[in-house]
Amino acid sequence: MTDLKTTTLSRRTMLLAAASAAPLLAISAGPARAGALPPTAVAYQPTPKDGKQCDGCNQFVAPNACKAVSGDIAPTGWCKLWVKKA
């Protein structure tokens, strides 16, 4: 036999636990930035192209991030958004 009050409390406890864990999951997801594009959308590759690479790009954030593209970005990478560092 299921106690309705216990079931409701358990469901509520689980929802509260999930809500409090969400920020931790967001933090552990890495350096993703709001509005940043996924690497596949900009043809990101972890190797240079035509002598151009991320550590020479204006969007690069050392040691391994980018203002415009989400995820880990290799200093030696490249994508279609490359802009010469100012």
Separation in Å, CA 44 to CA 37, 65, 71, 74: 10, 12, 11, 10
Q: What residue ranges bind ligand SF4 (CB under 6 A)?
A: 44, 54, 57, 59-60, 66, 68-69, 73, 77-79, 81-82
- Do 67 and 35 meet the contact criterion of CB atoms below 8 Å apart? no
- At closest approach, how far in Å is the CB of 34 from ligand SF4? 15
- When the beta carbons of 11 and 69 are compared against ligand SF4, the nearer one is 69
- When the beta carbons of 12 and 80 are compared against ligand SF4, the nearer one is 80
- At closest approach, how far in Å is the CB of 40 from ligand SF4? 12
The pair of three-digit structure tokens given for residue 79, joined into one six-digit string: 């994508």
- At closest approach, how far in Å is the CB of 26 from ligand SF4? 21
